A and B are shown apart, each in its own frame.
Chain A
């Protein structure tokens, strides 16, 4: 079964740090592009960014509000994605979802011809930034 399981969320004070993890199973993680999406309480979805597979360069891309404070990394041997969050602000309070992201079908590895669709989502982990 294809699965993503996030962990590491919690309560942190403004200015603090937190590291989220996302454990993957059921697909070839090493080939997958991965992303983080967050959802503030009662609000819509917000793209945080993505990390490509090492085969495709392993490059990262971040949305402007988190650039310079958040860092994505991946350990392909552990099939785990990480999100290091520093200098946290109250507006970072949200449920953080780990997702796979196109253009490759995660089961077959086929190139689908379109980009940035998020086909597998974890259940999310909650980050609360408050004093």
Chain B
């Protein structure tokens, strides 16, 4: 059971908008810690998609956006493309756990 909760799967047709939620608690997201998002294409290493809740690293298309409110965060993908099919993970910091960094369980995005 992951400390951060994500839906196991989401899907959408090309061109559509999808969102992936990441729900935490008062010891992580709700405590004000930043949320980061990663994309993992099949058979590859994860790649940083969003840092500091809403910042896109250089090279990440502006179709990807992040937000945070209260004890939750969201990743939105607009203009869905076939190459967006991947696993997506949220990550934050938790002040109640040894090691402190926590990931969500991951969300599989299927482009229909």
- Distance between A125 CB and nearest chain B CB, rounded to angstroms: 11
Measured in the bound complex, the distance between the Cα atoms of B51 and A48 in whole Å is 20
Chain B residue numbers with a CB within 8 Å of A27 are none
Interface centre among B45, B87, B106 (most CB of A within 10 A): B45
User: Chain A interface: which size bin?
Assistant: 20 to 34
How many residues on B have C-beta within 8 angstroms of the other chain's C-beta atoms?
Answer: 30
A117 touching B36, Cβ below 8 Å: yes
B51 touching A119, Cβ below 8 Å: yes
Considering the complex, which residues of chain B in the window 54-112 have a beta carbon less than 8 Å from any beta carbon of chain A? 57, 87, 89, 91-93, 97-106
B99 touching A61, Cβ below 8 Å: yes
A114 touching B34, Cβ below 8 Å: yes
A119 touching B97, Cβ below 8 Å: no
Measured in the bound complex, the distance between the Cα atoms of B89 and A124 in whole Å is 17
A112 touching B52, Cβ below 8 Å: yes
Chain B residue numbers with a CB within 8 Å of A114 are 34, 36, 51-53
Measured in the bound complex, the distance between the Cα atoms of B99 and A62 in whole Å is 5
A45 touching B34, Cβ below 8 Å: no
Measured in the bound complex, the distance between the Cα atoms of B6 and A108 in whole Å is 33
Smallest CB gap from B93: residue in A: A116
Chain A residue numbers with a CB within 8 Å of B30 are none
Smallest CB gap from B36: residue in A: A117
Chain B residue numbers with a CB within 8 Å of A45 are 38, 40, 46, 89, 91, 103, 106
Measured in the bound complex, the distance between the Cα atoms of B97 and A44 in whole Å is 18
Once A44-B105, A45-B106 are accepted as A-B contacts, the answer to whether A64 and B51 lie under 8 Å apart by CB is no
Contacts A46-B103, A64-B97, A117-B48 given; 7 further ones with Cβ under 8 A? A35-B101, A44-B103, A44-B106, A45-B89, A63-B99, A114-B51, A117-B36
14 contacts between A and B (CB under 8 A): A44-B2, A44-B103, A44-B105, A45-B89, A47-B91, A62-B98, A63-B99, A63-B101, A64-B98, A67-B99, A117-B48, A117-B51, A121-B45, A121-B47
Q: Which 5 A-B pairs have the closest CB atoms?
A: A63-B99, A114-B52, A117-B51, A47-B101, A114-B34
